[in-house]
C-alpha cells in the first residue's frame, strides 16, 4: 500500500502552486475506478481552485505546477506553448552512454541531442515508438556520472511529447532503470522504481513576469544501488487471498500466460479481481485499453466482454473469482482468467 505523501506545496502564491509528485502517483485521474487517486485530486481537496497545467508520467517523480483559477491556467498554458517553461530532469540509464554516443557532437557544456519523431503505438498503448509518422521531438542530455553498468544523466526536453525522454533514451539503446514500459526485464530489475525525476523548473511568473526557479534534486548515482529507496514489503499471495475471500470471492488462483499471447474478446460467468505479479498485460473492454505491470490490480464484473494481450515476457498474476458454481469450476479450459 502506498503512503499518501504530504501535499504541502514547495511554493504557493495567489496564482500558482509548485508541488513535488512522488513516483507511482498519477498526475490526473486515469480510466477505471482503481486509477482515480491522483495528485490533482489530493491537491484539489485542499485548494479547490487548483487546475492542471501539465503532467508527469505516473512513475516519474518531481516538480509539477498547478494554476489557481482559470486565468492563471490560461496564462501558464501559454508559457508552456511558447516554450518559456524550462524543465530539467535527472535519470539513471543502462549502459555507458558517453561511450556509445561519443560520435555525437556536444556543445561546450557537454550537452548532446536526440531527435526522433514519436508516435503512439495504438495496439500497445500507452507505449510510444520512434516512427516517421510521429511528431517531431527533440531531447538534450549530458552525462553527470558513469559506471560499468549505468549512467547518471541530466535531461532537457526541447519538445514535450508523451514519454519523450523515456522513448528517446530507449531508442539509442539506453533505457531507464526500472522502466516498466521500455526497459527489458534485466534493466527493469535494477531499480524498484523508474529512475526519472523532474528536478528543476524555471519560468517567468504569468502575472508579474518576475523570474521563478525551483529545484528538488534527487540523490542518485550511476553506481548500485543507484539511489536511496524506501523498502516496501511486497504483498504475499496469502495476503491477497485473505483479502479476496473477505471481499466475497470464492476462489483464488495463481496464473501465468506466455509471451505475446492475444486472447480475443470473450466473457466469464463470474466476477474477477486480478493482481499482476510479473510481466506486462493489456486489458481491453469496449473502446478502453488499460496497461498493467507488477503491483497493479483491477476488477472485472461477470459477463463483461474483454480481450487480453500479454507482453514480450508474458505475465503472471493472482486471480480471485466470485459467484462460481462447481459446474463453472470444471470449465478449466476456458480462455483467459478462467484458467
Residues noted as catalytic: 57
Name, in order, each residue with C-beta under 8 angstroms of 255's C-beta and a sequence gap of 6 or more.
316, 317, 318, 319, 337, 339
- Our CA angle for 317, 318, 320, nearest 5°, is 140
Name, in order, each residue with C-beta under 8 angstroms of 154's C-beta and a sequence gap of 6 or more.
88, 89, 90, 141, 142, 144
Taking alpha carbons only, the member of 105, 333, 293 closest to residue 193 is 293
Where does the chain show beta strands of DSSP type E?
Answer: 11-12, 16-21, 50-52, 61-68, 86-94, 112-115, 118-120, 128-130, 138-146, 150-157, 196-204, 211-215, 251-257, 262-266, 271-285, 288-292, 297-300, 306-322
What phi and psi, each to the nearest 5 degrees, are found at residue 175? -65, 155
Cβ atoms of residues 313 and 319 within 8 Å: no
Taking alpha carbons only, the member of 75, 5, 79, 84 closest to residue 46 is 5
Beta bridge partners of 142: 154
Burial of 101 (0-12, 13-18, 19+ CB in 10 A): middle
Q: Where are the alpha helices (DSSP H) in 200-314?
A: 237-246
Amino acid at each position: 500500500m502506498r503512503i499518501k505523501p504530504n501535499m504541502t506545496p514547495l511554493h504557493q502564491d495567489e496564482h500558482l502552486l509548485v508541488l513535488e509528485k512522488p513516483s507511482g502517483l498519477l498526475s490526473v485521474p486515469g480510466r477505471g475506478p482503481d486509477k482515480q487517486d491522483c495528485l490533482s485530486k489530493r491537491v484539489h481537496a485542499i485548494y479547490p481552485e487548483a487546475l492542471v497545467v501539465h503532467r508527469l508520467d505516473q512513475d516519474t517523480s518531481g516538480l509539477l505546477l498547478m494554476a489557481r483559477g482559470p486565468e492563471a491556467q490560461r496564462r501558464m498554458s501559454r508559457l508552456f506553448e511558447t516554450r518559456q517553461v524550462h524543465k530539467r530532469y535527472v535519470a539513471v540509464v543502462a549502459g555507458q552512454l558517453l561511450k556509445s554516443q561519443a560520435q555525437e557532437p556536444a556543445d561546450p557544456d557537454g550537452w548532446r541531442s536526440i531527435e526522433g519523431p514519436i508516435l503512439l503505438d495504438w495496439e500497445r498503448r500507452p507505449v510510444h515508438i520512434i516512427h516517421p509518422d510521429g511528431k517531431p521531438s527533440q531531447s538534450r542530455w549530458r552525462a553527470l556520472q558513469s559506471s560499468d553498468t549505468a549512467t547518471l544523466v541530466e535531461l532537457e526536453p526541447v519538445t514535450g511529447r508523451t514519454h519523450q525522454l523515456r522513448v528517446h533514451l530507449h531508442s539509442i539503446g539506453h533505457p531507464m532503470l526500472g522502466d516498466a514500459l521500455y526497459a527489458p526485464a534485466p534493466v527493469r530489475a535494477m531499480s524498484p522504481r523508474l529512475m526519472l525525476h523532474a528536478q528543476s523548473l524555471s519560468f517567468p511568473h504569468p502575472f508579474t513576469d518576475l523570474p521563478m526557479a525551483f529545484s528538488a534534486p534527487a540523490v542518485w548515482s550511476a553506481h548500485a544501488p543507484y539511489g536511496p529507496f524506501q523498502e516496501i514489503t511486497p504483498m504475499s499471495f496469502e495476503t491477497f487471498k485473505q483479502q479476496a475471500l473477505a471481499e466475497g470471492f470464492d476462489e483464488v488462483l495463481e496464473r501465468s500466460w506466455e509471451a505475446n499471447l492475444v486472447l480475443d474478446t470473450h466473457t466469464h460467468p463470474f466476477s474477477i479481481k486480478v493482481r499482476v505479479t510479473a510481466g506486462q498485460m493489456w486489458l481491453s473492454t469496449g473502446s478502453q485499453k488499460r496497461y498493467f505491470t507488477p503491483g497493479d490490480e483491477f476488477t472485472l464484473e461477470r459477463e463483461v466482454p474483454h480481450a487480453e494481450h500479454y507482453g514480450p515476457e508474458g505475465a503472471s498474476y493472482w486471480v480471485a473469482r466470485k459467484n462460481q458454481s462447481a459446474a463453472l469450476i470444471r470449465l478449466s479450459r476456458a480462455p483467459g482468467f478462467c484458467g
